[in-house]
């Protein structure tokens, strides 16, 4: 695996490659990330990964400085997955001057759910993803379904800017007890780690009630939120939304079996976890 630090080196290394598959990450890689590399290898060749902790998507009070950085371990894992190039720029390389030009998703998609509780987050994501796409020039890029709203926003940005890149959605990889794999899971204490799978169980209960025909979505959401609060969580949201645009479903949507998804974000101690589950009806 070749490790490159500059955009010029990256472009030189990839010159003439027309089927590059790309997986952007912030490092601290786990099995979920590695599954993205394997999926990328089925959709292109060579596979390029990036590691860059993007300051633009962190609010001032969030954990940018504490975000776990495990570069050598990450390199070892990527090498075992036969990744061809790892692009690992520092901030001065990717942002040599203040990044005053930003990509801002539409408010009706970018300012809800995660965007409501993390203002500016999706603008930071879109800006760095567009910049990375311009550096790598991929034919395909892989993003995980665990970040459901992010996946949707990146896909729409790619479509609206007519970027020659297919966005591949990868399934959420879970621990044996149902907890979605995440770099932030390492922040959990042993007691919190034992409690953390409750988030997935709550979403499964929401799915069960909606799939069972209960149409009072507000009550289902409130009950799920209350279940988390009773167990010591601090929920930001538990929501049932349309898969197509993440808007709340209408009565007609429920009658017509509109495809739905349930999404949640909640703090357990100092750690904020997110998860989602597509509802099968």
Main-chain phi, psi angles of 28, to 5 degrees: 55, 55
* Sign of the four-CA dihedral 135, 136, 138, 142: negative
Nearest-5° angle of CA 141, CA 104, CA 152? Answer: 40
Distance CA 124, CA 112 (A): 15
Candidate list 30, 33, 43, 61, residue with the active-site label? 33
Bridge partner residues of 24 (DSSP): 50
Q: Which residues pair with 143 in a beta bridge?
A: 169
| CB count in 10 Å sphere of residue 248 | 14
**Centroid of chain to Cα 140:** 16
Tokens representing residue 179 in the block: 């907890």
Q: Which two tokens stand for residue 39?
A: 């999926």
Q: Is the separation of the CB atoms in 28 and 183 below 8 Å?
A: yes
**From edge to edge, which strands make up the β-sheet containing 260-268?**
234-242, 260-268, 271-279
**Three-state secondary-structure class, residue 105:** coil
Residue whose structure tokens are 């005053």:
100
Q: Are 126 and 160 in contact (CB under 8 A)?
A: no
Catalytic annotation on 33?
Answer: yes
Question: Regarding beta strands 47-51 and 21-25, do their DSSP bridges make them parallel or antiparallel, or are they unpaired?
Answer: parallel
Q: Which residues are catalytic?
A: 33
């Amino acid at each position: 695996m070749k490790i490159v630090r500059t955009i010029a080196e990256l472009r030189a290394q990839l010159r003439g490659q027309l089927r590059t598959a790309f997986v952007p990450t912030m490092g601290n890689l786990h099995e979920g990330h590695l599954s993205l590399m394997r999926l990328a290898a089925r959709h292109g060749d060579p596979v390029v990964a990036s590691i860059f902790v993007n300051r633009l998507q962190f609010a001032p009070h969030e954990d940018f400085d504490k975000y776990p950085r495990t570069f050598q371990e990450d390199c070892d894992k990527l090498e075992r997955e036969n990744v061809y190039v790892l692009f690992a720029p520092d901030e001065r390389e990717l942002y040599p001057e203040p990044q005053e030009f930003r990509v801002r998703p539409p408010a009706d998609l970018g300012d809800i759910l995660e965007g409501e509780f993390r203002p500016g987050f999706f603008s930071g994501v879109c800006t760095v993803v567009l910049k990375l796409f311009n550096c790598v020039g991929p034919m395909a890029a892989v993003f995980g379904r665990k970040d459901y709203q992010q996946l949707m926003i990146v896909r729409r940005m790619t479509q609206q800017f007519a970027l020659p890149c297919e966005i591949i959605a990868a399934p959420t990889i879970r621990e044996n007890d149902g907890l979605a794999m995440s770099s932030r899971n390492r922040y959990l204490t042993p007691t919190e780690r034992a409690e953390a799978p409750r988030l997935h169980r709550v979403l499964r209960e929401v799915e069960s009630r909606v799939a069972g025909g209960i149409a009072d979505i507000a009550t289902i959401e409130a009950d799920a939120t209350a279940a988390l609060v009773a167990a010591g969580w601090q929920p930001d949201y538990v929501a049932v939304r349309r898969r197509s645009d993440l808007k709340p479903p209408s009565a007609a949507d429920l009658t017509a079996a509109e495809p739905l998804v349930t999404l949640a974000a909640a703090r357990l101690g100092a750690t904020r976890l997110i998860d989602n589950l597509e509802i099968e009806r």
